[in-house]
Amino acid sequence: MTGAPALAVTALALVTGVVVVLSTGAPRTAIRVLLDLLVAAGLLRLVGQPDWSGLAGAAAIVALRQLLWAALGTAPAWPRRQSGPPCGGDDHHLPLAVRGGTGESGRTTT
């Protein structure tokens, strides 16, 4: 009896995920909404037929949700900018560049 509502929630989860990604342009948010609704569908399916396969399916969806949330929540492995700005306040060549003088190597810095 609860198979039809669980199937309806699963279908609505897919539609909602697509609508969220198309309307906001945020795939992370769409994945989170999709996974939350799939957990709800799994729990609805478990209420109607409390068997081991239903429990395993709901547990797999919850585990997938947790793994994806952890993966989506982590920062990238390295920042986009690897080094500081080329001309910072502690740049010892800055006075030479302003004056147009030469450094220790004898080259002009302008």
The 10s digit of each residue's pLDDT in 17-58 is: 899 999 988 888 888 888 888 888 888 888 877 788 878 878
Contacts by 9-18, CB closer than 8 A, 24 or more apart: 9/37, 9/40, 9/41, 9/44, 10/37, 10/38, 10/41, 12/37, 13/37, 13/38, 13/40, 13/41
Q: What is the pTM of this model?
A: 0.56
Is residue 15 predicted with pLDDT exceeding 90?
yes
